[in-house]
Chain A
Amino acid sequence: MTELTSLTIAEAREKLKAKEFTSVELTESYLKAIDAANQVFNAYVAVTPEKALEMAKASDARRATGEVGALEGIPLGIKDLFATRDVHTQACSHILDGFKPKYESTVSQNLWDDGAVMLGKLNMDEFAMGSSNETSHYGAVINPWKAAGSNQQLVPGGSSGGSAAAVAAHLCAGATATDTGGSIRQPAAFTGTVGIKPTYGRCSRWGTVAFASSLDQAGPIARDVRDAAIMLKSMASVDAKDTTSVDLPVPDYEAALGQSLKGMKIGIPKEYRVDGMPEEIEALWQKGIAWLKDAGAEIVDITLPHTKYALPAYYIVAPAEASSNLARYDGVRYGLRVDGKDIVDMYEKTRAAGFGTEVKRRIMIGTYVLSAGYYDAYYLQAQKVRTLIKRDFELVFDAGVDAILTPATPSSAFGVADEDLASDPVKMYLNDIFTVTVNMAGLPGIAVPAGLDHKGLPLGLQLIGKPFEEETLFRTAHVIEQAAGRFTPAKWW
Chain B
Amino acid sequence: MSVDLATVKRVARLARIAVTEEDANRMVGELNGILGFVEQLGEVDVAGVEPMTSVTPMDMRKRTDNVTDGDKAADIVANAPSTDYNFFLVPKVVE
Contacts and interface: CB of A to CB of B under 8 A. Distances in A.
- Please indicate which of the listed interface residues B56, B58, B60 has the most CB atoms of chain A within 10 Å of its own CB: B56
Interface in A339-375: 339-349, 351-352, 355, 360-361, 363-365, 367-368, 371, 374
Contacts of A341: 91
A336 B17 contact: no
A323 B90 contact: no
A365 B76 CA distance: 31
Contact of B42 (A327, A347, A381): A381
Interface string B54-66: 1110101101000
Q: Is the interface of A mostly helix, strand, loop or mixed?
A: helix
Interface in B32-69: 33-35, 37-42, 44, 46, 49-56, 58, 60-61, 63
Nearest to B63: A240
Contacts of B40: 308-309, 312
B49 A388 contact: yes
B7 to A, nearest CB: 8
Nearest to A343: B91
Contacts of A454: none
A386 interface: yes
B18 A351 contact: yes
Interface string A307-345: 011001101100000010001001111111101111111
B23 to A, nearest CB: 8
Interface in B61-85: 61, 63, 72, 75-82
A201 to B, nearest CB: 5
B87 to A, nearest CB: 11
Contact of B44 (A337, A385, A426): A385
A211 B91 CA distance: 28
Give the bracket for the number of chain A residues in contact with chain B.
Answer: 35 or more
Given A214-B54, A381-B42, A364 B11 contact: yes
A339 B52 CA distance: 41
Contacts of A429: 37
Nearest to A214: B55
Which 7 pairs, one residue from A and one from B, show the smallest C-beta to C-beta distance?
A442-B55, A383-B51, A337-B81, A348-B18, A352-B18, A334-B79, A102-B75
23 contacts: A214-B54, A214-B55, A243-B61, A244-B54, A244-B56, A246-B56, A312-B40, A315-B34, A331-B81, A335-B79, A336-B81, A339-B91, A340-B91, A364-B8, A365-B34, A367-B14, A368-B3, A380-B51, A383-B51, A383-B52, A386-B52, A388-B44, A425-B34
Interface of B: 1, 3, 7-8, 11-19, 27, 30-31, 33-35, 37-42, 44, 46, 49-56, 58, 60-61, 63, 72, 75-82, 88, 90-93
